[in-house]
Amino acid sequence: MKALRHALAGVYDIEAPLGRGGMSLVYLARERRLDRRVALKVLAPELAVNDAHRRLFLSEARTIARLTHPNIVPIFTVDEVGSFVFFAMAYVPGETLSQHVATVGPLEATAAGRFICDVGEALDYAHARGVVHRDVKPDNILLDAIAGRALLSDFGIAHYSREPWGNGQLGRPAAPRGPVVGTAEFMSPEQARGDAVDGRSDIYSLGVVAYYALSGRLPFYAKSEEALLRLHISAAPPPLHSVAPRVPPRLAQIIDRCLAKEPWERFPDAAALVQAVTEAVGAPPTPLAVRAFLVRSTHLEGPALIHAAFTGFGLLPATVAAWSTPGAGVARGVATCALAGALALPLIVEVARVRRLLAAGHRRDELVAALAARQGRRREELAFVYGTGETSFERSLTWLARAALLVAACAVGVIATALPVPDAVAALFPPIAAGAAAVALLASAVARGRTEQRSDPVGERSLRFWRGPIGRALFRLAGLRLPRVVPIVTVLDHLETPA
């Protein structure tokens, strides 16, 4: 580690070791130029002298660079410094799935459904681009503590084919027959035999991971890797409900199907698995960052109202008065700057909030989807409590408001036309007009309040705002100069294509 720190001095500051794989070591580091934390994956020095190991290590970098997906840990750069070969990846704050299960215990059905969908979507994306992971296991699934999602990592033994697999292309092998590679506890039967495998092999491995995450135990145990592989090939695993009876039956059946011995008995692709899990446990819960954004929006409603009142009734009249007063040059400048700052403050606050949401890896469509789902539930709840149509009480208030408004208009008309009436009678018209107007205003406000109870106008306005052009523009503005994950091509283009 001292030699690595010295070799990368000036570019990366090595902070701490994160883990060790079969061929590499992973360190937490800070990239000086962009002042961000990254995970450095370094080929073990004793292997870096071997050309075959170097090609295999660099092929992993090339494979990851082809994949840009929210649930795949992205790569930033690949480099060689002295005897060290490494690439820098995004640092995911949190823990691996295996660490979480070991410390907290088995996952609840909804949490398990969330991680299965996240990893399933990542696999579906990779399979469509000809990449079979071949090492899906809890140690390679990272749980992001900030964004609340699962990310797939470590494509060290992944196979890349120019022929994509998926979308009904059953039976097309993505990885040819060859030596047995992978982790014995999570290997599919065909992978354990060294047969040709496709994306359905990853589905089997994900099924084993889900079995472990929901029950806290693996479907097979053996004293040696050879015995464990034989069990994967020929033995039937205990049904999930027999070892984890609290798992919903439909979800348990889905996991059991993933563990079928024959590939054609499993789900045809990862997208079908994600759809089945979503239907079994409900839509995946809204990510933590999006939920926090919505909570913060609610908490800001009060301060926003105070800010609007202060700007509209304080700063704006003061600015108009300053510009209307001759010779008040300093006052004009101060008032104008204060008004400009007050008008810009909401924009600055919203851009900062959206920027934080984007930095957590979430897009505008996720926020809009969460708002739409919340408003859908809100409409159902309000319809159950207050009904869907106008009540007789609200209709009575509406007619009362109209009648009072008519009386007020007539009284004002009499006063305006100066009709010849006795003074005692004429003195009654001003209070009649004022009273009728007050009744109309009060009845209208009560009727509108009852109507708004059924419609949640604040939530509806929020949904329209973020769905509309202003919300779209805010996300574009917030995304300016925000570091984005892009596939690296300049370095990798010179690397040899793996066999």
Spatial strand order in the sheet of 94-96? 94-96, 141-144, 150-152
Q: How many residues are there in the chain?
A: 499
Taking the C-alpha atoms of residue 259 and residue 190, their distance in angstroms, rounded to an integer, is: 12
**Given the DSSP bridges, would you call strands 159-160 and 150-152 parallel, antiparallel or unpaired?**
unpaired
CB atoms within 10 A of CB 182: 20
Q: How far apart are CA 97 and CA 143, in angstroms?
A: 6
Q: In whole angstroms, what is the distance from residue 261 CA to residue 233 CA?
A: 7
Question: CA-CA distance, 455 to 433, in Å (whole number)?
Answer: 33
Cβ–Cβ < 8 Å for 295, 127: no
CA dihedral 293, 299, 305, 308 (to 10 degrees): -40
Q: At 439, is the secondary structure helix, strand, or coil?
A: helix
- Answer yes or no: 135 catalytic: yes
Q: Is-contact 192 180, C-beta < 8 A?
A: yes
135, 144, 256, 269: the catalytic one is 135
Under 8 Å between Cβ of 462 and 371: yes
User: Which helix (H) or strand (E) covers residue 76, if one does?
Assistant: strand 75-81
Cβ count near 238 (within 10 Å): 15
Q: Of 239, 290, 247, 291, whose CA–CA distance to 116 is shortest? A: 247
Of 59, 46, 68, whose CA–CA distance to 487 is shortest?
Answer: 68
Q: What is the DSSP letter of 414?
A: H
Active site residues: 135
